[in-house]
Amino acid sequence: LEQQINESNKYYLMEEIAVVHKKPTPIQIVKVDYPKRSKAVIREAYFRQASTTDYNGVYKGYYLDFEAKETRNKTNFPLKNFHEHQIFHLDECLKQQGICFTIIRFASLERYFVTPASFVIRAWRKKDKSSMTLKEIENNSFEIKSGFRPTLPYLKAVDKFIADRKR
């Protein structure tokens, strides 16, 4: 999924449509073996802190922030795939009028959904809920099809978010 998004982002950048990048994961390198300078191997590293979301950028003057998730399940998406710090980050970005969402891939069905962060946050905060059903995702998301240039045309869904915001 991330490769498809990265390819789409490269296309969007080359065509001057949007600037969206994958955020690096902050790690602390502890041990490196240097058999040769050109052959350095990291042997031990730790996450410095919990990362936020996978991607952020700018499109049509709007700040974008989103997460990429996938499942092999066919009928639901487990909410345990989201971490508390990701939910908190998405909520904070929404408060600043950012456009926030998750691209969810149902791998075994080859289906892709752009799901608004507000829907994911509400579902995640329900204590008695362990997953979002496929039907709930279908009813609260924009389905996109994998293709060519861009590989995943997720900005079509973002255009709908922008249009809804202007109403």
Q: What is the mean pLDDT of residues 18-31?
A: 77
Q: Which of 84, 90, 114, 120 is nearest to 5 (CA)?
A: 114
The identity of residue 60, as a single letter, is: K
Backbone angles phi, psi at 81, to 5 degrees: -70, -15
Q: What residue ranges do the domains of the chain occupy?
A: 2-166
**Assigned fold of 2-166:** Trna Endonuclease; Chain: A, domain 1 (3.40.1350)
Kindly indicate the confidence band of residue 33, based on its pLDDT and cuts at 50, 70 and 90: confident
Residue 10's closest CA among 1, 2, 23, 21? 21
Find out whether 103 and 113 touch, Cβ atoms under 8 Å.
Answer: yes
- Residue found by looking up tokens 């996978």 in the block: 54
Q: What is the mean pLDDT of the chain?
A: 90
Lowest mean pLDDT among 50-54, 64-68, 134-138: 50-54
Could you report the per-residue pLDDT of 88-105, keeping only the tens digit for each? 999 999 999 999 999 999
